[in-house]
Amino acid sequence: MRILTLTIPTEYDGVQIKSVLRKHFGLSSALITALKTADGITLNGVHANVTEKAHTGDTLVLRIYETDSENIVATEMELDILYEDEDILAVNKPAGIPTHPSIRHYSDTLANGVRYYYKDLPFTFRAVNRLDKDTSGIVLIAKNRFSSEALSKQIREKKIGKAYLAICCGALPAKDGIVNVPIARDEGIIKRRIDEAGQYAETHYSVLAQAEAYTLVQAEPITGRTHQIRVHMAHLGAPLYADFLYGKEVPGSRTMLHCSTLTFLHPLTKKKMRLSAPPSPDFELLKQKLFQ
């Protein structure tokens, strides 16, 4: 359960509670409806209706209850936790671990490990950003419905910034650039392709290091299309190292892509957050080998 408390400021004097919930906390109509329980909303310690008016100095308390994620088993797993508070959890996901369970990965995903971490509490797994199985780096998790709504809104409004490190095979056309070619689903379920009839996709990139046949890149996807960085780098003639789907077969156990930085506004405090995660050992080892 997440408890939110607000001492009503002067600006909300005489304002209905439902307006305070929308303006101050940014709650959706669905979450406001869910709060209409015996103790979901109290004003000065007494159950309150959302149509009641609050006044300066009143104490408004919200109690947001959680339910358990269905069909996610708790699996003991070592988590590399970058940040945690009452509303969010950020984890540095290693390569080789999917974010969500599937038919082939029922109990060995990040969701299973996080569920075990909160095994003594009602908990629903809500990943704000999702990384592919072979991509390492930051995964931000909303710990309650309140933070999930706030961060999902930031995703829709493109207010969450993501930066990736990528090792590419080949050279890019410029030291800095923008790729804004559309992406569509290819034949089958997984693969994507460049297609003028596809969805708009935009990636900004900067070259960090250049070797004879390889390039170290920082890529910032502005949109969030499936395989966006992989497709865009391949389109420029520099597919990611060991990306067998869009590039050439080179020695390597996984595609060299790492989510290194995430920026967003904290769902409650609205403070700007910047989280960083160091590359995984295999990424760092290859980087040192190719760009020494």
Domain with 166 in it: what CATH number?
A: 3.30.2350.10
Q: Domains in the chain: how many in total?
A: 2
The answer to the question of residue 82 being in a domain is no
Domain stops at, among 43, 64, 85: 64
pLDDT at 202: 97
Domain stops at, among 33, 64, 95: 64
pLDDT at 36: 87
Q: Are 53 and 14 in contact (CB under 8 A)?
A: yes
Is 176 an annotated catalytic residue? no
pLDDT at 249: 73
- Where the chain has pLDDT below 70, the residues are none
Residue 70 CB neighbour total at 10 angstroms? 6
Q: How many Å apart are CA 123 and CA 66, to the nearest integer?
A: 6
The secondary structure element, H or E, covering residue 206 is strand 203-210
Encoded tokens for 45: 């310690």
The answer to the question of residue 86 being in a domain is no
The answer to the question of residue 118 being in a domain is no
* Catalytic choice (132, 134, 176, 186): 132
Q: How many Å apart are CA 6 and CA 74, to the nearest integer?
A: 35
Domain span at residue 8?
Answer: 2-64
**Cα 210-212-217 angle, rounded to 5 deg:** 25
Domain stops at, among 64, 83, 113: 64
Q: How many Å apart are CA 272 and CA 265, to the nearest integer?
A: 5
The answer to the question of residue 265 being in a domain is no
Kindly tell me the sign of the dihedral angle through the C-alpha atoms of 95, 99, 104, 107.
Answer: positive
Encoded tokens for 286: 């290859």
Please name the residues in contact with 270: beta carbons below 8 A apart, sequence gap of 6 or more: none
The answer to the question of residue 111 being in a domain is no
The answer to the question of residue 26 being in a domain is yes
pLDDT tens per residue across span 211-241: 989 999 999 999 999 999 999 999 999 999 9
Q: Are 223 and 200 in contact (CB under 8 A)?
A: yes
pLDDT tens per residue across span 55-65: 999 999 999 99
The answer to the question of residue 75 being in a domain is no
Domain with 20 in it: what CATH number?
A: 3.10.290.10
Q: How many Å apart are CA 253 and CA 246, to the nearest integer?
A: 15
The answer to the question of residue 282 being in a domain is no
